């Protein structure tokens, strides 16, 4: 049995205080949704020989694929504001696993420590959900500044409106989300993702395109899927305890949070999990 203490999502915060941002959580999420994630990043249009910034790189889940896309003649820069993430990336670099140079740097996404026009593309995954509207605007201004004319800006994030856990009561899920949005900025950010194409256009980026990717998982689950989805239930159950949910909804989440139960819905033959992501890709204009 997996040690639940190491996989509980309520412990998956970084030194920045953001929920669900710790590198081991990001890694297991990547493993559980690998095929869809790889298809999304390959759709961006990153070319061999390019210099690409992974903005908000986390522990480096996407770096191997980015390095593969730019090849030995390319270069990857990785930036994050959590020191432990930069340490994790530097450990990967020291292991010699990358086919191109990878340089990790500590910094804020709203004030990037790079020169103008110094990148061919920027990749930004699972970051906007943590930002205020003002911070999102500053981030996009920075992306436009550091990417050369006709270079690419690609932003991917989780779309909460597509989230489903079945069998179960979908109303209980939305009661939880409604209560959380008053105290959790991340809920607002995952609802705002539908509007990211508009934000990129307002930032002056051009040729904006976007696509929704649905990630579906059904019973029987692979070990990585079971570990990840079980953690989702435990995370939601932990959040449900202190936000004033109606008693029936609270009881529902307490039951769902007990993933070791032999009759937990993940163990049922009709179990279904769905999450959605939107990737928005644009180009930097001349001037």
Confidence grade of residue 185 (pLDDT, cut at 50, 70, 90): confident
Supply the DSSP string of the chain, one letter for each residue: ---HHHH-GGG---TT--TT-SHHHHHHHHHHTHHHHHHHHHTS---TT-EEEEET-TTSTTHHHHHHHH-TT-EEEEEES-HHHHHHHHHHHHTT--SS-EEEEE-BTTB--S-TT-EEEEEEES-GGG--HHHHHHHHHHHHHHEEEEEEEEEEEEEEEEEEEESS-HHHHHHHHHHHTTT-HHHHHHHHGGGHHHHHHHTT-EEEEEEEEEEEEESSPPHHHHHHHHHHHHHHHHHHTTTT--HHHHHHHHHHH-TTSTT-GGGSTT-EEEEEEEEEEEEPPP-
Q: How confident is the model at residue 167, as a pLDDT? A: 79
Is the pLDDT score of 11 beyond 60? Answer: no
Whether residue 276 has pLDDT greater than 50 = yes
Give the per-residue pLDDT at 9: 42
Residue-averaged pLDDT of the chain? 92
Considering its fold, how many domains does the chain have in total? 1
Considering the entire predicted model, what is its pTM?
0.91
pLDDT of residue 18: 76
pLDDT > 60? residue 7: no
Task: Read off the pLDDT of residues 77-107 as tens digits, 9 standing for 90 and up.
Answer: 999 999 999 999 999 999 999 999 999 999 9
Q: What is the pLDDT of residue 17?
A: 72
Q: What is the pLDDT of residues 153-181, one digit of tens each?
A: 999 999 999 998 887 778 888 889 999 98
- Residue ranges making up the domain that contains 114: 4-283
Region 136-140: mean pLDDT is: 98
Task: Specify the CATH number for the domain of residue 126.
Answer: 3.40.50.150
Q: Which pLDDT band holds residue 10 (cuts at 50, 70, 90)?
A: very low
pLDDT at 16 over 80: no
pLDDT band at 74 (very low <50, low <70, confident <90, very high): very high
Where residue 287 falls among pLDDT bands split at 50, 70, 90? Answer: confident
Compute the average pLDDT of residues 35-58.
97
């Amino acid at each position: 049995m997996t040690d639940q203490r190491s996989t509980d999502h309520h412990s998956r915060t970084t030194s920045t205080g953001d929920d669900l941002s710790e590198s081991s959580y990001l890694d297991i999420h990547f493993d559980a949704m690998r095929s869809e994630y790889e298809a999304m990043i390959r759709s961006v249009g990153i070319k061999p020989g390019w210099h690409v910034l992974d903005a908000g790189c986390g522990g480096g889940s996407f770096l191997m694929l980015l390095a593969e896309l730019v090849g030995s003649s390319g270069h990857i820069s990785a930036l994050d504001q959590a020191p432990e993430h930069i340490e994790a990336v530097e450990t990967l670099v020291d292991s010699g696993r990358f086919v191109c140079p990878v340089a990790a740097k500590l910094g804020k996404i709203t004030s990037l420590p790079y020169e103008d026009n110094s990148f061919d593309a920027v990749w930004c995954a699972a970051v906007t959900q943590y930002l205020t509207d003002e911070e999102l605007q500053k981030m996009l201004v920075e992306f436009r500044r550091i990417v050369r004319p006709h270079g690419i800006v690609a932003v991917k994030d989780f779309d909460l409106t597509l989230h489903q856990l079945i069998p179960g009561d979908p109303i209980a899920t939305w009661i939880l989300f409604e209560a959380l949005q008053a105290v959790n900025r991340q809920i607002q950010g995952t609802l705002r993702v539908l509007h990211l194409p508009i934000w990129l256009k307002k930032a002056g980026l051009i040729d904006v395109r976007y696509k929704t990717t649905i990630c579906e998982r059904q019973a029987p689950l692979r070990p990585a899927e079971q570990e990840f989805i079980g953690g989702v239930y435990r995370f939601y159950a932990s959040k449900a305890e202190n936000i004033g949910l109606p008693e029936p909804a609270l009881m529902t989440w307490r039951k769902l949070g007990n993933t070791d139960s032999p009759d937990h819905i993940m163990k049922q033959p009709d179990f279904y999990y769905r999450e959605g992501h939107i990737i928005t890709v644009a180009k930097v204009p001349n001037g």
